[in-house]
Amino acid sequence: MGEREQVRRIALDTGVLVSALLFRSEASALFKAWRDGRFLLAATEPILEEYTRALRYSRFRLTEEEAVGIMEQLVLPFCQRFDTVVGPRYCPNPDGDKFINCALVAQASALVSADRGLLTLASSVARVPIIPVADAVVRFCR
């Protein structure tokens, strides 16, 4: 990337991040793209805590050390942290608001989500596109 090009920032909801890291899925292309430096992950402390908590779910069969290692090696080096922002309520489920507010404060190129509730808000949050994984792969991974 040239000096004048600005690195894009992308916010990922927890389901997308976990899918990108742990499963062979469409989201796997996002993992490769952030490792290749095509974009930075935009996150706040509550989002990073949620990522870590999700990686510890028993269904993923990761040890505590493995979950922490994934965060330290595969997420944090590719992440730009932003201050936690409490903004307006967008989602019926307030957990979704932290992703929208992070994307807004980061001036992210997109919030990538697999959550139907977040995706239905795409037209009401005008300052940041809320897009599904398939759209993100086309926009940021090719």
Predicted local distance difference test score (pLDDT) of residue 91:
82
User: pLDDT band for position 94 (50/70/90)?
Assistant: confident
Q: Examine residue 119 and state whether it is found in any structural domain, yes or no.
A: yes
CATH of the domain at 55: 3.40.50.1010
Cα 99 from Cα 96, distance rounded (Å) = 6
Q: Examine residue 109 and state whether it is found in any structural domain, yes or no.
A: yes
**Amino acid making up residue 51:** Y
Tally of domains in the chain: 1
Q: Examine residue 1 and state whether it is found in any structural domain, yes or no.
A: no
Strands (E), the chain: 8-12, 39-43, 79-81, 110-112, 130-131
Arithmetic mean of pLDDT, 33-55: 95
Q: Examine residue 134 and state whether it is found in any structural domain, yes or no.
A: yes
Arithmetic mean of pLDDT, 89-116: 90
Could you tell me the residue range of the domain that residue 115 belongs to?
Answer: 8-140
The pTM of this model reads 0.90
Q: Examine residue 3 and state whether it is found in any structural domain, yes or no.
A: no
